[in-house]
Amino acid sequence: MKLLTLFTLIITATSSFADVAEKKADPAKIKAIQKIYEATNAAITAMEKSADTAKASDITVDIYKKNALNRSWEAVGKYNITYKSYYKHNPVNAQDSVLKLTRTVESTGKNHEEFYFNEKKQLVFYYQKSDTPDLEIERRFYFDGDKAIRIIVPNETRDEYTDGDKEIAANIIFRSKVLRQKFDLDYQEP
């Protein structure tokens, strides 16, 4: 009986390990997302070097700034929100292809977020760094469709959700769609 119980435990542990291994993110997908992130940032950096390179670039940037005059807000003090949209415009079909959206909130600290998209306009990568008193965090989410496939927080990389990850991932996806609408990047000609 003890041998049967031991055998059952070994089989259970092995199958549990296999389940975990199957949930690992596909390294090819992660690498493809990293290439999108790196190529997008390289193109934006090159575009932002000077006015001449910006004019020659096929990337367009739109900026929306809340409280652009830096006025002090009651009970808050300094408070600014800056949104940036980086995209390519295709003159053949008059469609915009979103590359990257950023949202930066500056108050008692700074909360910076970046949303990266593939050629199908799908969110593929999210980055956040915050040093505000209520949220000090740095995190990265890799997406495949509407599912986070890898989450990186300080000292931890995981390919499975924790209790709060699913809600955070859904919120990131929702906010990326709201930001795209803010810049009319989903507008389709009738």
Question: How much is the average pLDDT of 25-50?
Answer: 94
Q: Calculate mean pLDDT across residues 51-74.
A: 85
Q: Which residue has the tokens 């008193």?
A: 133
Which CA distances in Å does 76 have to 66, 67, 109?
A: 14, 13, 12
pLDDT at position 2 over 80: no
Q: Is the pLDDT of residue 75 over 80?
A: no
pLDDT above 90 as % of the chain? 48
**Chain center to CA of 11:** 39
What is the pLDDT at residue 47? 92
Tokens standing for residue 83: 């949104």
- Average pLDDT (118-129) is 94
Question: Are 33 and 125 contacting, i.e. CB atoms less than 8 angstroms apart?
Answer: yes
| Residues 115, 127: Cα–Cα separation, whole Å | 7
Burial of 116: CB neighbours in 10 Å, binned 0-12, 13-18, 19+: buried
**Which pLDDT value is given to residue 46?**
93
Q: What pTM does this model have? A: 0.81
